[in-house]
């Protein structure tokens, strides 16, 4: 009688036992994954802060422009008041129209600037924080298994 021996390389028909990796390998893999995850979260936070900084800068610039235009509007309004008091002529009407136009422009710039600043508030990387919380929750759940 002959006996059939499976090939040494575990050829067809043989069932290979899958060995689980050693604990040290699992710890190494987990460490690498956590390291990659932390780097990704830092990149996300930096990108989010950059966007918010852009909004804050634009809003601050528009608010500064609004203040400057309001100053010119106040000067024109003052000139209109003086002209109205000293000369009862159409000159004051022109100065008053200029003041109203300048103040209207200042109001539009101010409201637009305020809107831009509110887009940047609060200055926290909210997406990165939420993502990190989700990651921590998932890691805790996997650790329980």
What is the number of domains present in the chain?
Answer: 2
Q: Are residues 96 and 70 in the same domain?
A: no
Q: Are residues 71 and 61 in the same domain?
A: yes
Structural domain span for residue 65: 23-88
Q: Are residues 40 and 81 in the same domain?
A: yes
- Where does a domain end: 70, 88, 106? 88
This prediction has a pTM of 0.40
What is the C-alpha to C-alpha distance for residues 57 and 67, in angstroms, rounded to an integer? 15
- Where does a domain end: 88, 109, 127? 88
Find where tokens 């235009």 sit.
69
| Torsion, CA 22, CA 26, CA 28, CA 29, rounded to 10 | 140
Give domain status of residue 47, yes or no.
Answer: yes
- The string of pLDDT tens digits covering residues 1-58 is 555 555 555 555 555 556 787 878 888 888 888 888 888 888 888 888 888 888 888 8
Give domain status of residue 10, yes or no.
Answer: no
- The string of pLDDT tens digits covering residues 53-101 is 888 888 999 999 999 999 899 888 888 777 776 765 677 777 777 778 8
Give domain status of residue 4, yes or no.
Answer: no
HSE-up of residue 15 (Cα within 13 Å, Cβ side): 1
Q: Are residues 35 and 54 in the same domain?
A: yes
Q: Is the CB of residue 132 less than 8 Å from the CB of residue 42? A: no
Cα distances (Å, whole numbers) of residue 144 to 48, 54, 73, 128, 140: 32, 42, 67, 24, 6
Give domain status of residue 94, yes or no.
Answer: yes
Give domain status of residue 17, yes or no.
Answer: no
Q: Are residues 80 and 94 in the same domain?
A: no
């Amino acid at each position: 009688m002959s006996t059939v021996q499976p090939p040494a390389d575990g050829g067809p028909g043989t069932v290979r036992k899958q060995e689980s990796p050693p604990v040290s390998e699992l710890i190494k893999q987990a460490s690498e994954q956590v390291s990659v995850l932390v780097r990704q979260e830092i990149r996300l936070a930096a990108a989010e802060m950059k966007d918010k900084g852009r909004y804050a800068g634009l809003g601050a610039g528009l608010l500064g422009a609004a203040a400057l235009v309001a100053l010119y509007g106040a000067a024109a309004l003052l000139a209109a008041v003086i002209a109205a008091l000293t000369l009862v002529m159409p000159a004051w009407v022109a100065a008053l129209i200029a003041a109203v136009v300048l103040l209207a422009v200042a109001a539009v710039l101010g409201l637009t600037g305020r809107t831009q600043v509110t887009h940047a508030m609060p200055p926290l990387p909210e997406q990165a924080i939420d993502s990190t919380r989700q990651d921590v929750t998932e890691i805790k759940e996997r650790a329980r298994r």
